Amino acid sequence: MAADTPDRTLRLKLRVWRQRAGSPGAFEEHELAAVPVTASFLEMMDMLNEQLVRQGREAFAFDHDCREGICGMCSMTINGMPHGPIPGVTTCQLHMRNFRDGETITVEPWRARAFPVLKDLVVDRSGFDRVIQAGGFITVRTGSAPEANNTPVPKTVSDEAMDAAECIGCGACVASCKNGSAMLFVGAKVTHLSILPQGQPERERRALAMVKAMDEAGFGNCTNYGECQAHCPKSITLDVIARLNREYVRARVKEFFSTTGKPRKGGD
């Protein structure tokens, strides 16, 4: 395939969500011409904002940062699909060659109860941080780590942990789910840490604490629609949800039958 040139451009109709904090939002319609097919979706949004500012109007607020698909900050629902129509990419990695001249594109924020809209296309995803704060870590004091090669990890295990650890925490899984479930996100972290030997000592308490925090943050439950997997820009699979369920049940059962897992006098 020959390289696209910026000479090929598109004229677009854009329906973009406008919302101020505390008030209901609505779509605003704009026309944008001369969008090069080589531009990224966010560069197209930059062009729209430049046009608005030149007209003395307010730019749309949207989240974005690294623009190379890794920071997880960008978060638009494009034509009804989180991160747009191309599987396995974030909004910032979506390029305009995937759209047609004259097309109408609808741009909305993530839609989920646990992700309230802060303004326009920007939502509050701090629920994800609270889940990690509850247990998404291996406790290791700085400086107390053993020599790295003292803990061999089979390559297959390390690779599987890495597959799960690639999650960028963007929230597309929640936004695509009818239930607003965060189980793909939580499952990815639980999988990453629970299969590594370093993660074993906290395995049960981690699963229990993260699920509890997930429920408290207002995320829904998984009913196996599978939309999250379809829209995950890092192609994380439902396997991590299966593992999360398994880890949770395992932890509950162990907690029930074990004496050491229960809170004892003198704290846990």
Partner 1 sequence: MNLDAKIPAGPLADKWANHKAKLRLVNPANRCKYHVIVVGSGLAGGAAAATLGELGYQVSCFCYQDSPRRAHSIAAQGGINAAKNYQNDGDSARRLFLDTIKGGDYRAREANVYRLAQLSTSIVDQCVAQGVPFAREYGGLLANRSFGGAQVSRTFYARGQTGQQLLLGAYSALSRQIGLGSVRMHPRHEMLDVVLVGGHAKGIITRDLVTGEVKAHSADAVVLCTGGYGNVFYLSTNAQGCNVTATWRAHRRGAGFANPCYTQIHPTCIPVHGEDQAKLTLMSESLRNDGRVWVPKVAADCGRPPADIPEERRDYFLERKYPSYGNLAPRDIASRAAKEACDEGRGVGPAVDGKRLGVYLDFSASIARLGEGVIRERYGNLFDMYENITGENAYRQPMRIFPAVHYTMGGLWVDYNLQSTIPGLFVGGEANFSDHGANRLGASALMQGLADGYFVLPTTVADYLAGVGLAGRPSSDGPEFRAALKDVNDRVARVLSINGNRTARSYHKELGRIVWDRCGMARDRAGLERAIADIRGLREDFWRNVRVTGGADGLAPELERAGRVADFLEFGELMCRDALEREESCGGHFRTEHQDAGEARRDDGRFAHVAVWEWQGAGAAQRRHEEPLRYEEVQFSTRSYK
- Please identify, using beta-carbon distances, which residue of 225 and 230 lies nearer to partner 1: 230
To the nearest whole angstrom, how small is the minimum distance from the Cβ of residue 223 to partner 1? 27
- Please identify, using beta-carbon distances, which residue of 67 and 225 lies nearer to partner 1: 67
To the nearest whole angstrom, how small is the minimum distance from the Cβ of residue 259 to partner 1? 26
Q: What are phi and psi of 15, to 5 degrees?
A: -110, 110
To the nearest whole angstrom, how small is the minimum distance from the Cβ of residue 153 to partner 1? 5
Cα–Cα–Cα angle for 187, 190, 194, rounded to 5 degrees: 140
- Please identify, using beta-carbon distances, which residue of 67 and 250 lies nearer to partner 1: 67
To the nearest whole angstrom, how small is the minimum distance from the Cβ of residue 225 to partner 1? 26
- Please identify, using beta-carbon distances, which residue of 123 and 241 lies nearer to partner 1: 123
Whole-number Å distance between alpha carbons of 133 and 213: 9
Cα–Cα–Cα angle for 109, 114, 117, rounded to 5 degrees: 35
- Taking CA atoms, 74 is separated from 97, 178, 217, in Å, by 19, 21, 21
Phi-psi region of 74 (alpha: psi -120 to 50; beta: other; left: phi over 0): beta
Whole-number Å distance between alpha carbons of 69 and 220: 26
